[in-house]
Amino acid sequence: MNAAVEAGWPGEAVRSFAVVAYLLSALAMQAEEEAKLARAKLTTTRADIGEAVAAVPSVDHALDEIAGNVGRKYARVAGITSPNERQAGLIGQIRDAIEEMNRATQQCAAMV
């Protein structure tokens, strides 16, 4: 408004003032729009953060369940591994016994 009143006065300085006042008014409007956009983005960000914070307990619970399941699977694998290792040892003993019998058979055949 002041710019409009001042523009009514004659003179170069008054016209310059009117231009500056118009530019300042436009800049103020632009700043207000940017502030509204920033406020909207902050509101959205705050909502997103709230959702993320609310999701943390369920994620924590899911990770606990996963860790428990992994522990149980590890125990099962360990339970399977131990008998397999024993079987591998027994198979090795059987192989050694068969080799010994094969040598004995070959010796007997050589003597005959």
Helix residue ranges, H only, 1-112: 2-7, 12-111
pTM: 0.46
Could you tell me which residues come within 8 angstroms of residue 6 by beta carbon, excluding any fewer than 6 positions away? 14, 17, 18, 21
41-71: pLDDT as tens digits: 999 999 999 999 999 999 999 999 999 999 9
Rg (CA), the chain: 44
pLDDT above 60: residue 5: no
Residue-wise over 54-88: b if at least 16 C-beta within 10 A, else e?
eeeeeeeeeeeeeeeeeeeeeeeeeeeeeeeeeee
pLDDT above 80: residue 23: yes
